[in-house]
Amino acid sequence: MSAKIALAGLPLALFAVLGVETYLAMTATYLPAYPGFSVEATVGPAAGGRPIELAVLGDSTAAGVGAPVASQSLPVLVADRVAARLGRPVHVVGKAVSGARTATVLAEQVPLLEAAQPDVTLIVIGSNDVTHVTAPWAMGRQTAALVEAARMAGHAPVVIGGIPQFRTVPALLQPLRWVTGRYASVLRAIQRRATARAGAAYVDIAALASPRFVGRPESMSSDGFHPSPIGYGFWADALAPAVAGAVSQAG
């Protein structure tokens, strides 16, 4: 994306973040009923051999905000599906933190991979970069740095779960939903390209999972901003093939 196009998107971004933060502050709908988890679980067949080590980093969605119990959080749902695909147990450790952006995952969560020693690292990130107006040029640079640092720290392949759509988020009234969605599309395209250039797998949650939320209000949690376990199931369906594929390719 050219600098001219990126700069043209900034007024739109500023309006988006101002509108979103004002609306959420006035209505307090962003206070989650279920605040998320520090996840650690082993799922899958006990007789399937050595467990696959899956590390999950990211924001509130990767921490399972909106799920009432850890077993219904995104990391565990992805692990369940990977275990079913590969016929092996999966030991998943989630280190995601609510409110994280690409830069904070890079600085604060990636160093934790040294101790985790994963076979694959899944990073679900980007929504807070939209609402906090990460500049387009910074998004590309930070995404590339995140992939490379995570690969080096974990000595394992990396899968990036991309920015979802915002059109099914009831906490955002129109035109805020539309404006936020427009800026999300700018950052999502940059995120996708930067991930590909860095040699990691990119899962387009917006294309593969978000459309399944349409007409399914039960797919959103009670805070109107995060997915429910049903919605996280949609995300896990999209993410698991890439995670399983990364494990298989790494041997």
Q: Which amino acid is at 189?
A: A
pLDDT for 158-177, tens place per residue? 999 999 988 777 676 677 77
Residue 184 neighbours by CB distance under 10 Å: 25
Angle at 163 between CA 222 and CA 128, to 5 degrees: 70
- Give Rg (Cα) of the chain: 17
The pLDDT value recorded for residue 75 is 96
The pLDDT value recorded for residue 120 is 97
Give whole-number Cα distances, 50 to 25, 95, 231, in Å. 47, 22, 30
Task: State the residue range of the domain holding 24.
Answer: 3-250
Give whole-number Cα distances, 211 to 187, 220, 226, in Å. 19, 13, 15
The total domain count for the chain is 1
**158 with 118: CB under 8 angstroms?**
no
Weakest mean pLDDT among 23-27, 63-67, 147-151, 228-232: 23-27
The pLDDT value recorded for residue 168 is 78
Angle at 40 between CA 114 and CA 29, to 5 degrees: 105
| DSSP tag of 43 | E
Identify the H or E element spanning 57. strand 52-58
Of 68, 40, 66, 34, the residue nearest 54 (C-alpha): 40
Structure tokens at 50: 């050595």
The pLDDT value recorded for residue 251 is 66
For the chain, percent of residues with pLDDT exceeding 70: 83
Instruction: Give the pTM.
Output: 0.87
pLDDT band at 112 (very low <50, low <70, confident <90, very high): very high
Q: Give the pairing of strands 90-94 and 40-43.
A: antiparallel
The pLDDT value recorded for residue 179 is 78
- Mark 211-249 as b/e (b = at least 16 C-beta within 10 Å): ebbeeeeebbbebbbbbbbbbbbbbbebbbbbbbbbbee
- The CATH number covering residue 74 comes to 3.40.50.1110
Structure tokens at 183: 């800026």
Length of the chain: 251
**177 with 225: CB under 8 angstroms?**
no
The pLDDT value recorded for residue 166 is 84
Q: Is the pLDDT of residue 117 over 80?
A: yes
Orientation angle between helical segments 229-250 and 74-86, nearest 10 degrees? 50
